[in-house]
Structure 1
């Protein structure tokens, strides 16, 4: 990178950390530290909610997802606006009426301590894992691209977040996330325009969309009901809605964002803002990935997007085989580029018969290119057995480093670092809050001063930060990062949501029934995850439905003479 890029990157990160510490210096009590003195306005809440969900994985992995699979991932978010309305009507008034610090406090008043503790522990497990992944994911990619030491990159990202999160608590997280969202979305809008400008002069925006559409990358909506298909309208509206209900309604990393607002109305406006803007935001990020795909139809892409691994393979005994695949890949690309240019000319002339034949040839050559890339990945696995063979997550960052002009590289890297910091800060803040309020204060030290609990909150936030860094240093990637995080959430969120839905709506179900039902449901979801090919979004529906159904059945058989919560 150039000196200008370094100045932009380091200047941006220093400003965010310094601003967070300055604006929230000296939290004096637990109320201010965990709930930000209930001072946040609705737009701060809305931006904070969006920034919490938009991790670095979103900006690294989502464009790669679109590059490989098109726009259909956006269906994952179709149920989110519905969930925002339900949470605004049902969840928020209850949380405000009870004046809770965490979502799980309510469960004790509705059921009992063991149910509250179970939900809190499930949250700590899944969110603790996610915190490590949200640090590790950008660290391994950035360290590879920038040739940095991986563990050092992990420590740098984690330490920057810990500094202002431990210092200022919830208010620091919310205040810095406004700047981070501006940097993130501004960077992606600029990236989209830059990529369009980089296309060949004779290729218009309309031509680019024609290429993307005919090559299956504008597949926004899929109506086929297929339970093994991860992304379609039905899984998005149902599974996506259940996941969003659980994430935004019961996950403390999100609940803590809107519990810090001035009023119920401000919280609702913040969530509804998220419901209105989240789908367009994800559409934009996916669209950037589609633009990268179109760009690489006219300019030759790498045969493997992880350049560091490519260099390693080229130095092994498989070097000749690697070179042969590169040459084969190059020849196929040249043929495909010629066919695409001919296709665009035929499109301008309106020759439908010729267009159909050319479209089939372009798709055939694209399939041939994908087969070569599959052979490349297989070769990588043989040459370097421990190397990550799936390079989708490297597509966007590789494109930035190779093709973006000076200055914009630093800006886009700042986007990725900002996203990593914003989501990780929210997670550490929520993990610290839940550890203190739901476990430490409730079950270990019930009588202590406000200052003691404030210090304990800082300690647990720091502890979870260290745990996340340590986990990140031992983590390993799986397929696509954006999917990996959502898979982890889906394994646990359905059960947690089921507990809350029973608490809100099925008043006759008591504590023992819900506790047993939750344990059975979570065990069932884990079993299905490891033994079936069910799309992960459906686990949110399955887990939730099992909790509700089993709890009602148990309560019916246990009778009304059982102990009440």
Structure 2
């Protein structure tokens, strides 16, 4: 990195922190600090909701996901627009009518304190883990490619977020996320157009898409009914729907964003805005990854994009074996480029037999490329079994650091860190609020002032910030970071969503039945995940249906016992 990159990076991050602190100073009551003054406009809510969901993991992992597996991951979001409509019609009016600060206040009103506390604790567990991962994700990748100290990066990101989140609460999170989303999308569009500019002169965007299609990177829809397959149309509109309902409807990090709305209408418009733009945004980010794939059809790419993994294997007894793979990869890249040129020329001449032949050649080369990469991962694992071999999360950052001009590298790194800050800020804000209001305040016997609870919220936000940094320092990569966050959410979200749906629609079910059903369900979901009964997306629907069924059965059994006791 050059001096200009450091200036752009540091200037962008400091501006966000200083702006957040300055814009929200002097918020000393619960309404202002936790509720954000309840004066947010719909566009602020919409951008804040999007920024909360779009963490650094989104901008690091998603392009790498598309590079390796194509556009199919977009199916994960197919249930989101329908979820936004349901939340607007059911969740938002109830929350606003009750004037709650947290989603879980409603559960006590409908059931009892222990059910409210259980749901809050389930949220704290999964969101606390996720907060650590959203810090850890950019830290481990930046440390690997830039040589920065991992723990130092975790602390820097954590401290920057804690500074304005503790100071300004919900409003600080909302106002800074508008700037962060602007920086993020500006950086991604710039990267996209630079990628297109780096392609050969005769490769237009249209031709680039055909090249990607020849390598099966544009297979967007999968209508198979295989529940073990992670991303299908059906898992997206069912499992994805339940995940989105749980996340946006019951996760305080999102609920707190739209509870700050000036009115029910503003909150609803903000969510609809998010529902309309989320799939196109994710589609675009995946498309960036596909264009990076096309770029590397004409340019050298490492066997493994994680530089620290390459360094480890090259310093081991397997170095010679790895060099042989690298030499083979160099020859393969020459063949790959020739095959792409042949395919491109056939497209120009519209010779369909030649197009099909070139396409088959490309598929064969891609299989050999995949075999080489698998062999490289095996050698890395043999050199050090603790080294992360999955390099999906390193693809995009490798392109940024090795191909973008000075200044833009700093901007794209600012994009990644801004995304980490925006998502982590929402999580810490929600964690502090839930701990202060749902656990501390609700179980505190003595009366206390508004200022006391604001100070308590700030204290718990600080504590959760420190916990998130500690989690980041002990976390390990797991397959793909964006999947890890969604897996953690899916283990808990279905259960919590089922509790809320029981509260909304099954009026005769009481608190004791729901409480026991939630505990039983969570145990079963843990077992199901451990033994891999189904793809993690299906756990959302499974957990939701299971807790509702068990609660209804327990309530029926309880009523039957009471009736038999009366008769006797």
Q: Distance between the aligned counterparts of 2:64 and 2:364, measured in 1?
A: 22
CA shift for structure 1 position 126: 0.2
Q: Distance between the aligned counterparts of 1:460 and 1:560, measured in 2?
A: 44
Note if 1:142 corresponds to 2:142: yes
Q: Distance between the aligned counterparts of 2:94 and 2:546, measured in 1?
A: 24
Note if 1:207 corresponds to 2:207: yes
3-state secondary structure, aligned to 1:537: helix
Q: Distance between the aligned counterparts of 1:204 and 1:462, measured in 2?
A: 50
**Structure 1 counterpart of 2:435:** 435
Note if 1:336 corresponds to 2:333: no
**Structure 1 counterpart of 2:216:** 216
Q: TM-score, normalized by length of structure 1?
A: 0.98
Note if 1:402 corresponds to 2:402: yes
Q: Distance between the aligned counterparts of 2:146 and 2:444, measured in 1?
A: 46
Mapping 1:438-457, distance limit 5 Å: 438-457=438-457
Q: 5+ residue gaps in structure 2?
A: 564-568
Q: Distance between the aligned counterparts of 1:461 and 1:25, measured in 2?
A: 16
Q: Distance between the aligned counterparts of 1:308 and 1:524, measured in 2?
A: 39
CA shift for structure 1 position 526: 0.7
Q: Distance between the aligned counterparts of 1:543 and 1:385, measured in 2?
A: 34
**Structure 1 counterpart of 2:566:** none
Q: Distance between the aligned counterparts of 1:527 and 1:247, measured in 2?
A: 22
Cα gap change, 1:533 to 1:305, in 2 (>3 Å): farther
Q: Distance between the aligned counterparts of 2:121 and 2:47, measured in 1?
A: 28
Mapping 1:124-523, distance limit 5 Å: 124-523=124-523
2:525·2:543 contact (CA, 8 Å) conserved in 1? yes
**Structure 2 counterpart of 1:100:** 100
CA shift for structure 1 position 498: 0.1
Q: Distance between the aligned counterparts of 1:295 and 1:121, measured in 2?
A: 46
Q: Distance between the aligned counterparts of 2:48 and 2:66, measured in 1?
A: 25
2:67·2:289 contact (CA, 8 Å) conserved in 1? yes
3-state secondary structure, aligned to 2:218: coil
Q: Distance between the aligned counterparts of 1:326 and 1:180, measured in 2?
A: 39
Note if 1:32 corresponds to 2:32: yes
Q: TM-score, normalized by length of structure 2?
A: 0.98
3-state secondary structure, aligned to 1:284: helix
2:135·2:424 contact (CA, 8 Å) conserved in 1? yes
Q: Distance between the aligned counterparts of 2:59 and 2:296, measured in 1?
A: 19
1:342-401 Cα deviation digits (max 9, x unpaired): 111112212222222221111011100110011101111111222101111000001100
Q: Which moved more, 1:492-501 or 1:230-239?
A: 230-239
Note if 1:44 corresponds to 2:44: yes
Q: Distance between the aligned counterparts of 2:126 and 2:449, measured in 1?
A: 30
1:236-261 Cα deviation digits (max 9, x unpaired): 01111100000000000000000011
Q: Distance between the aligned counterparts of 1:196 and 1:547, measured in 2?
A: 49
1:31-86 Cα deviation digits (max 9, x unpaired): 11101111211100000000000000000000000001101101111100000010
CA shift for structure 1 position 317: 2.1
**Structure 2 counterpart of 1:546:** 546
Q: Distance between the aligned counterparts of 1:242 and 1:277, measured in 2?
A: 19
CA shift for structure 1 position 534: 1.1
2:312·2:380 contact (CA, 8 Å) conserved in 1? no
1:296-317 Cα deviation digits (max 9, x unpaired): 0111111110123212322222
Q: Distance between the aligned counterparts of 2:376 and 2:332, measured in 1?
A: 14
Q: Distance between the aligned counterparts of 1:446 and 1:174, measured in 2?
A: 32
Q: Distance between the aligned counterparts of 1:38 and 1:445, measured in 2?
A: 28
**Structure 1 counterpart of 2:4:** 4
Cα gap change, 1:111 to 1:562, in 2 (>3 Å): farther
Q: Which moved more, 1:126-135 or 1:532-541?
A: 532-541
Q: Distance between the aligned counterparts of 2:107 and 2:561, measured in 1?
A: 21
1:77-121 Cα deviation digits (max 9, x unpaired): 110000001000100111111111100000001000110011000
3-state secondary structure, aligned to 1:305: coil
Q: Which moved more, 1:442-451 or 1:367-376?
A: 442-451
Q: CA RMSD in A?
A: 1.2
CA shift for structure 1 position 202: 1.9
1:412-470 Cα deviation digits (max 9, x unpaired): 10100000000000000000000011100111345211111111100000000000001
CA shift for structure 1 position 561: 7.9
3-state secondary structure, aligned to 2:225: coil
2:56·2:134 contact (CA, 8 Å) conserved in 1? yes
2:77·2:279 contact (CA, 8 Å) conserved in 1? yes
Q: Distance between the aligned counterparts of 1:204 and 1:277, measured in 2?
A: 26
3-state secondary structure, aligned to 1:300: coil
